[in-house]
Every structure is written in structure tokens, then in C-alpha cells.
Structure 1
Amino acid sequence: MKFTAAICLLASYAGFAAAATGCKVELLNFNSVAVGTGCIPFNYFASIYDPNTRAGYTIHATNDCGLSVQAGQRLPENYSLRKAGFC
């Protein structure tokens, strides 16, 4: 019974992930507080804005939600990106 439930749960998650078109991304400050969020389509670039520093960052998301900052840009010291799910 538990095995069947686990298979059903896994199948529903796989179906949800397949229906997703991108990655939900959070820009975290030095306190690990989300200061900017966005939905970035798979294998595409999108901008995330930080209202505290008044700066925007161009972020790339791979098809498995690997995240990187566009070449030539850097996040502020102790800032980071976090995958917050699919969108």
C-alpha cells in the first residue's frame, strides 16, 4: 500500500514538473531573506530586481533549474540565488 502511494505521488510530481515552463527563483540577501523573485523559463534569461540595492540581475535557468548570473554581472557579496520550485 505504501509503495503504491509512493508511486502515485512520484508520478503526480513528475507530471507537475513536466507541465512547468520555468523555475521560480529567489534572490537572497546576506541574511538569506528573499529580496527579489521571478519565474525564469527553462534555458532562458530573465531579470530579477532587488529594490534594496536598486539593481537588476540577469539570471539564466537551465532545464533542471541550475541558476547562474549572466556573464559580466556579479551578485553583491554574500547574496545568492535559490530555486523555489517550478512555475
Structure 2
Amino acid sequence: MKSVILALLVVLVVGHSEALRCNCGGKTQCSSRIQTCSGSDQVCASIRFNHPATGYFQSCYPAGGCQNLIRSGIGTGSCCSYDLCN
């Protein structure tokens, strides 16, 4: 029983220590092309704005905010939750 509890604790610690990594670019200012997300409820966003047609960004973004941008019609794109998916 003790080994099962220990194994579960190890899985929880390892699972929470890995931060999501996203591509970063466009209108987002980043120190490198890959950004490490901080905080919870983050996704990798890739949004192309409808006006002007050339505007876009790629970065870490709050999950709810990303979906709201797409639903609002301001832009098209994707919100995903695995490393470098944007």
C-alpha cells in the first residue's frame, strides 16, 4: 500500500513540474522563438487577426481567452495544449 501511495505522489510531482512550451512570434514580443508557459489553464495559441489580414500572434495564452478570441470573430486560429503545437 505504501508503495502505491509513493508511486502516485511521484507521478503527481513529475506531471506538475513540466510546463507547457509554445512557439512565440508575430505581434508577441519574446526573448526566443520558444516560450515556456507559467500558471495554470494555459494553452498554446496561434491566432491570425481578420483586420488587418497580416496580423497574427503565437504564444502562451489563457485557455478561456483563446477560445473567446476565436468565437468573437476577431481572428481565426487554434488553441492547443501540448508542447509546440501552435
Normalised-by-shorter TM-score class: 0.3 to 0.5
User: Which protein has the bigger strand share?
Assistant: 1
Task: Give 1 or 2 for the bigger CA radius of gyration.
Answer: 2
Output the TM-score relative to the length of structure 1. Answer: 0.35
Output the TM-score relative to the length of structure 2. Answer: 0.36
User: Which protein has the bigger helix share?
Assistant: 2
